[in-house]
Chains A and B, each alone.
Chain A
Amino acid sequence: MLVIICPNCGPRNDNEFSFGGEVIPRPSVDTDPATWRRYLYMRTNTSGWQSERWFHVSGCRRFLNIERHNVTNEIRMVTDVGGNNDA
C-alpha cells in the first residue's frame, strides 16, 4: 500500500484513492477511429516515471496529477489538477 501525500489532506494510504491511470489527452471528437481508440485503449505502459491521475475519492474528492515510478513505486510529485499545490 502506497502513501500518497495529498496536497489537500496530507499523507494517506492509497486505498483512499482511485487510480485513473496514465494521463491521456482527449482528442477532438472529429478525429478518426484509430486516434480515438488509441485514446480509449492504448497506454504507453512506460517502465519508469509516469504522469498519472489519481482521485482522492475518500478524501478531498480532488483529482491529482502524480508522478510515480511504476517499477519502484516512488512518488516524486503530487499536485491538484486545479492548481492547489500548497504541499
Chain B
Amino acid sequence: MRDHRLDPQPGELIDRSETVSFTWNGRRLEGLEGDTIASALAANGVRVLSRSFKLHRRRGLLTATYHDPNAMVQVGDEPNVRAAHLNVSEGMEVSAQNVWPALSFDVKAANQLVSRLLPPGFYYKTFMAPRRLWPWYQRVLGRFVAGGVVNPEHQGGEYDHRFAHPDVLVAGSGPTGMAASLAAAEAGASVILVEEEPALGGHIRFGDDSDLGALADLRAAIEGQPLIEVMTDAVVAGRYDHNWVSVVQRDMAHVEERLVLARVKTLVVAAGTLERPYVFRGNDLPGVMLSTAVRRLINLYAVKPGDRAVVLTANQSGDAAITDLERAGVEIAAVLDARTGETVVEATGRKGVKTVVDSNGRRIDADLLVTAIGWTTPTALLNMAGDRPVYHSGAARFLPSSLPTNVLAAGGMVGDGTTDQLVEHGTAVGHEAAVRAEAVKATWRGGAPEATPRDIKGLDVEDHPELYRSTTHGFVDFSEDVTSEDLFSAAAEGYDSMELAKRYTTAGMGPVQGKVEAVNALAVHGEAVGTSLLETSTTTWRPPYAPIRLGTLAGQYHDPVRYSPIHPWHESHNARPLIAGQWIRPDHYGDPQAEVGAVRSSVGIIDVSPLGKIDLRGADVPRLLEFVYVNKWSKLEIGKVRYGMMCAEDGVIMDDGVTGRLSPDRYMMSTTSGGAGVVWNWLDDWLQTSFPEWDVKMTAVSDGYASINVAGPNSRELVSRLTDIDLDPHQFGYMEVRTGTVARIADCFLWRIGFTGELSYEIHVPANHGLEVWESLLEEGQDLEVRPFGVEAQRIMRLEKGHFIVGQDTDGLTQGFGFGIDWAIKMDKPDFSGKPELAWQKQRGDYPRLVAVQTDDPSIVPPEASQIIDREAGIVGRITSSRMSPTLDRSVCLAQVAHNRAAAGEKLDIRLPNGTTVPATVMEHLAHFDPEGTRLRV
C-alpha cells in the first residue's frame, strides 16, 4: 500500500532502499528508513492518529512536528511518543492511545453528543459535592484520563549528564542559527549548535532549489568548522540564571537521553517561528493541516497529503504550499487568499474533511484543507531570560522587547527576510555573540570587559494580516479540547483575565504547553472580553520548553559512599551493612545480642572510624571550646578529655562528643559520625566571621584516623598487650587521653571513655594502619574471646547505660536542658552559642525531660516513636529509643516526657501502633544498668 508515496523529492530524508516494517494497532505496515512514525502512517494512507482528550474526536496531523498536539502514540512500553518526531524502526509496535475499544469505533466519542454538558469547569462544577462520592467520581474520571498506558514492569534505561562550557550556544539551526554559529566560530568562539529536529536547516529544508543550495553550503561549512559542536535531535529545555542552559539530547547511542548542562557565555536564540492554526468550525478534522505540515510531508518524506485541496493562504508559506501540492499531483480545488479578505468558515466531514465552506458561501469538496494564517514566535528562552515579548500588530506576532546582554535573539524571532537576509543577520549576531562571550570571560578573569555590547541591526518586519478566528467557533487547544466557544463562555462567567480563563478552561495546559494554542487563546479570549489582550498581555513560557524524562533529570547516581579502612574485614566476615548517611557500617555480625554479652562479660571491639575528628591547635583553642560547647573548658589539663555538648544559637542541641588535650597547644575534638561535616563548617563559620583574631588552626582529620573502641572488663588487658602506653588506672584514668604506639604503629592516641558503659579505650590510629591494628586486636585477644561488635550492639549498650544520641533521642526542637546533663551547662560563662535561649529555657522550666522508662511487662518493647498518652492531657511524650536488653533480660526505653510527668516512679501509658496501651514506669536514673558507673571507673 504505497499509493501516497511520491516520486523522489530533492530534499527528502528517506532512504528508498531500506524498507522498515512496523505495526499500527496490530496491523503490519511498511515505511522507509528516515520516515517518522507519522510520515510512514501518512504514506500508508492513515489519516486518524488519535482520539481527542475530552470529546474523543478523530484527530490527524496538524503541524507534523514534535509539537503536533494529537500525534501522540504508544510505542511498545512507552506512552505519549511524538509520532511526527520519532523515526520509525524495524519491528516497532505503534498503537493509538486514548481509544476504547478501538480507534475507528470509540465508545467515549459519545462525549461529543453531550459536549454541551461538558462546558469549561465541568469537573469543578459537577464533581464537587457530595464529598462522600469523591472516591466514585475519581474512579469514573480515571477511565477518561488521556494518554497512553504505562507498563509498571518497564525496566528503566540508562541516562546521562554532561557539563559543557561553550562560549556561544545557538538554539535553532535554520539559516540564521547556522550562520550565527559559523560567524561566532570564525571569531574564535567555541560553539554548540542545538537543533530540535534530526537534521540541520530549519525551514529551508523544505524550501526551493536555491534554499536547498544554501542549506548544502551552510552544512558543509559547519562540518568543516572544528569549533562548532552540533547537537541534532536535541532541544534547549531551559535558560536559567547566569546563562545556565540545559539541553536534552535524544538521539544518544548508549543512553536513552542525555542532559547537557551548559554554562554559556552568550546564548543566541534563533528558534524561528511556529505556524499557528486557524480557529473555525471543524478545524480539528483529519485533513486540516498547516502549510508547513504539508510542505514537510511532501518535501521531507515524499508523501502526498491528500487528493483535492483547499488552501487558505495569508503568506509566502501558503503560496509555497500551493506550488508543492501541485508538484505532488494534488488537485487544488480552491485558493482562498486571506490577504484579500477571503477565509474559511467551516470544514465538515465525519472521518475527515469532505467539504469546505468559504466566506463567499461556496461549498467546496476537498479532503485536504491547508491553512497558512500566521506565525507564533517561540519566545520561551527569551521569557526565561526575563524578556516580556510585545505584540506587533503589523506582523501579527510577538517580538522580543528587552534582553540581558548575554542573550541575543535572531532570525524569525525578531523579523522576516529572505534566506540571504537571514544568513546576513545571523552572521552579524554570531560575531557579536563571540565578542560578548569574550567580555564575559574577561570579567571572570577579574578584569574589565574589553568591549561594550553593540546593537545589531534587526530584520525588517513584514506586514501580515491578523488572523485568529473566523466567523465560526472552533478548537483553540487541540490537546485539551478547548474551543473558542469555551473561552467565550468563560468570559461570560466572569473569567475576564486570561490567567484565570486559562486555569478554568485548561487552554494551554496540555502536553503542547501553549506552543500551538497560546496566542490563539489570547486573541480569542480578548475578542470575548472586548479588549485586545494581545496588545496588553505577553506570552510567558516557563521551562522546560519540551518534555524531559524523569530519568534524564536524575542522570547517573553519583553520590559518594564512604567506607572505613577496616571495611574489607567487615565484608569478609559477613557484617550486615548499615547505611548511615554516606557511610556503610557494620550493623552486626549475625547476633547483636551475643555481641553485647561478649562486651559485658569480657571484651569486644567496634569500628568507629566514621566519628568526626577535628585537630585544633593554637593558643586560643580553649576560647573556641568555651564558645561552641555549653560547658567549661578553660581548665582542661593536658592528658584529660571531657564530654561536651553543642547547642546552636536557638539553644537546640546540635552535636556532642569528647574533646581531649593532647599537648599544651594541641586538642582533638570528636563529633558524632553524622555531625562531622556540620560541626566542621560551623566552627569555620565562627572562626572566620566572628573571631578572626583568635589563634586557632583547625584541621579535619576524620579520614586521617581509623578509630576502634575496645570495650569490656578485659579491654585493659587486651590493649596492654599491644601498646607502649601505661594503662595502670592510676596513670591513665577515666576521661583521660594518651598518645603512643599501638601494635607498633606510631602516632596513635587513645582515650578512655565509656559510651557503652564499660571500661573502654578508643584507639585512633593513622588510617592506613587501621585494618592492621584491628586484626592485631583480634589476634592478641583470642584467649579473652574478643569479639567484634557492630552499631546495633553499641546502640543497645548505650541505651542500657542511658546515654542519649543526638538526633535519635533529641529532635529539632530539643534545647539543652532536660537531658541529664544540666550540670554541664554553665550559665556563668560570659558568652557561648545559644546562651540566651538556654537561660530562657531554664527560666520557663516547662521543657520535656529525657527519662528512662521501663514497661511493666518486661517482654514488651514499644516501638520507637510510640506516643505516651494521658486520658486528659493527650500526648505527654514519646519513646525515643527502645530495645530488648540482653544484660537485664527485659525491655528498656528512653523517652521524652512532659516536665510534670518525669518524676521517678511516675506511671505512664504507652500507646502501641496496634492501638493497645501498655503501662510503664519512669525510672530513677537515665541508666538502666550500672547507674553508679562503677564499671567505667575500674
A residues apposed to B, CB below 8 Å = 1-3, 5, 10-11, 13, 18, 20, 26, 29-31, 33, 36, 39-40, 53, 55, 57, 61-63, 72-73, 81-82, 86-87
Please judge, given known A-B contacts A5-B444, A40-B650, whether A63 and B688 are in contact too, CB under 8 Å. Answer: yes
Please encode chain B, from 240 to 253, with 1 for each CB lying within 8 Å of some chain A CB and 0 for all others.
11101000000000
Minimal Cβ-Cβ distance residue in B for A10 = B444
Residues of A within 8 A of B308 (CB): none
Residues of B within 8 A of A86 (CB): 446
Residues of A within 8 A of B684 (CB): 55, 61, 63
Chain A nearest CB, measured from B115 CB (Å): 45
| 20 contacts across the A-B interface (CB closer than 8 A) | A1-B261, A2-B244, A3-B263, A5-B443, A10-B444, A11-B444, A18-B681, A26-B649, A29-B830, A29-B836, A30-B836, A31-B836, A33-B836, A33-B840, A55-B681, A55-B684, A63-B684, A63-B685, A81-B692, A87-B446
Cα separation A53 to B649 with both chains bound (whole Å): 17
Beyond the given A36-B836, A55-B685, A63-B688, could you list 11 further A-B residue pairs with CB under 8 A, ordered by the A residue number? A2-B241, A3-B242, A5-B444, A18-B681, A20-B685, A40-B649, A63-B689, A73-B242, A81-B692, A82-B692, A87-B446
Asked if B726 is at the interface of the complex by the 8 Å CB criterion, the answer is no
Please judge, given known A-B contacts A1-B242, A1-B244, A3-B242, whether A36 and B837 are in contact too, CB under 8 Å. Answer: yes
Chain A nearest CB, measured from B127 CB (Å): 39
Asked if B386 is at the interface of the complex by the 8 Å CB criterion, the answer is yes
Number of CB contacts from chain A to chain B under 8 A: 58
Please judge, given known A-B contacts A61-B684, A72-B386, A87-B446, whether A26 and B241 are in contact too, CB under 8 Å. Answer: no
Q: Looking at A11, A18, A53, which has the most chain B CB atoms within 10 Å of its CB?
A: A11
Please judge, given known A-B contacts A40-B649, A81-B689, whether A57 and B446 are in contact too, CB under 8 Å. Answer: no
Chain B nearest CB, measured from A82 CB (Å): 6
Cα separation A82 to B688 with both chains bound (whole Å): 7
Contact assessment for A73 and B241 in the assembled complex, using a CB-CB cutoff below 8 Å: yes
Minimal Cβ-Cβ distance residue in B for A26 = B690
Residues of A within 8 A of B242 (CB): 1-3, 73
Chain B nearest CB, measured from A42 CB (Å): 13
Chain B nearest CB, measured from A73 CB (Å): 4
Cα separation A63 to B690 with both chains bound (whole Å): 11
Residues of A within 8 A of B240 (CB): 1
Please encode chain B, from 832 to 847, with 1 for each CB lying within 8 Å of some chain A CB and 0 for all others.
0001110010000000
Asked if B775 is at the interface of the complex by the 8 Å CB criterion, the answer is no
Minimal Cβ-Cβ distance residue in A for B648 = A40
Minimal Cβ-Cβ distance residue in A for B839 = A29
Asked if B535 is at the interface of the complex by the 8 Å CB criterion, the answer is no
Contact assessment for B688 and A62 in the assembled complex, using a CB-CB cutoff below 8 Å: yes
Chain A nearest CB, measured from B654 CB (Å): 14
Residues of A within 8 A of B811 (CB): none
Contact assessment for B444 and A57 in the assembled complex, using a CB-CB cutoff below 8 Å: no
Chain B nearest CB, measured from A33 CB (Å): 6
Interface residue ranges of B806-858 to A (CB < 8 Å): 830-831, 835-837, 840
Contact assessment for B690 and A29 in the assembled complex, using a CB-CB cutoff below 8 Å: no
Cα separation A35 to B650 with both chains bound (whole Å): 13
B residues apposed to A, CB below 8 Å = 240-242, 244, 261, 263, 386, 443-446, 649-650, 681, 684-685, 688-690, 692, 830-831, 835-837, 840
Residues of A within 8 A of B835 (CB): 29
Residues of B within 8 A of A73 (CB): 241-242
From the candidates B261, B446, B837, name the one contacting A5 in the complex (CB within 8 A).
B446
Minimal Cβ-Cβ distance residue in B for A33 = B840
Cα separation A33 to B835 with both chains bound (whole Å): 12
Minimal Cβ-Cβ distance residue in A for B404 = A72
Cα separation A13 to B688 with both chains bound (whole Å): 22
Cα separation A2 to B261 with both chains bound (whole Å): 13
From the candidates B386, B681, B689, name the one contacting A57 in the complex (CB within 8 A).
B681
Chain A nearest CB, measured from B310 CB (Å): 50
Chain B nearest CB, measured from A9 CB (Å): 12
Contact assessment for A81 and B688 in the assembled complex, using a CB-CB cutoff below 8 Å: yes
Chain A nearest CB, measured from B447 CB (Å): 10
Chain A nearest CB, measured from B424 CB (Å): 33
The 8 closest A-B pairs by CB, nearest first: A1-B244, A11-B444, A73-B241, A87-B446, A63-B688, A3-B242, A29-B835, A36-B836
Residues of B within 8 A of A72 (CB): 386
Residues of A within 8 A of B830 (CB): 29
Cα separation A31 to B443 with both chains bound (whole Å): 44
Residues of B within 8 A of A40 (CB): 649-650
Cα separation A39 to B648 with both chains bound (whole Å): 13
Please judge, given known A-B contacts A36-B837, A63-B685, whether A1 and B692 are in contact too, CB under 8 Å. Answer: no
Cα separation A2 to B444 with both chains bound (whole Å): 13
Minimal Cβ-Cβ distance residue in B for A7 = B446
Chain B nearest CB, measured from A41 CB (Å): 8
Minimal Cβ-Cβ distance residue in A for B832 = A29
Cα separation A70 to B679 with both chains bound (whole Å): 29
Residues of A within 8 A of B681 (CB): 18, 55, 57
Minimal Cβ-Cβ distance residue in B for A86 = B446
Residues of A within 8 A of B690 (CB): 26
Residues of A within 8 A of B685 (CB): 20, 55, 63
Residues of B within 8 A of A29 (CB): 830-831, 835-836
Cα separation A11 to B446 with both chains bound (whole Å): 9
Minimal Cβ-Cβ distance residue in A for B837 = A36
Minimal Cβ-Cβ distance residue in B for A32 = B836
Chain B nearest CB, measured from A29 CB (Å): 5
Residues of B within 8 A of A2 (CB): 241-242, 244
Chain A nearest CB, measured from B615 CB (Å): 15
Contact assessment for A3 and B840 in the assembled complex, using a CB-CB cutoff below 8 Å: no
Chain B nearest CB, measured from A14 CB (Å): 9
Residues of B within 8 A of A61 (CB): 684
Residues of A within 8 A of B649 (CB): 26, 39-40
Residues of B within 8 A of A36 (CB): 836-837
Chain B nearest CB, measured from A15 CB (Å): 10
Cα separation A27 to B598 with both chains bound (whole Å): 52
Cα separation A59 to B690 with both chains bound (whole Å): 21
Cα separation A24 to B682 with both chains bound (whole Å): 16
Residues of A within 8 A of B445 (CB): 10
Chain A nearest CB, measured from B222 CB (Å): 29
Minimal Cβ-Cβ distance residue in A for B386 = A72
Minimal Cβ-Cβ distance residue in A for B443 = A5
Cα separation A8 to B684 with both chains bound (whole Å): 16
Cα separation A82 to B444 with both chains bound (whole Å): 21
Chain A nearest CB, measured from B465 CB (Å): 38
Q: Looking at B445, B681, B836, which has the most chain A CB atoms within 10 Å of its CB?
A: B836
Cα separation A11 to B242 with both chains bound (whole Å): 12
Contact assessment for A53 and B241 in the assembled complex, using a CB-CB cutoff below 8 Å: no
Residues of A within 8 A of B386 (CB): 72
Q: Looking at B241, B681, B692, which has the most chain A CB atoms within 10 Å of its CB?
A: B241
Cα separation A29 to B627 with both chains bound (whole Å): 12
Chain B nearest CB, measured from A67 CB (Å): 15
Residues of B within 8 A of A87 (CB): 446
Cα separation A80 to B445 with both chains bound (whole Å): 17
Chain B nearest CB, measured from A49 CB (Å): 16
Residues of B within 8 A of A39 (CB): 649
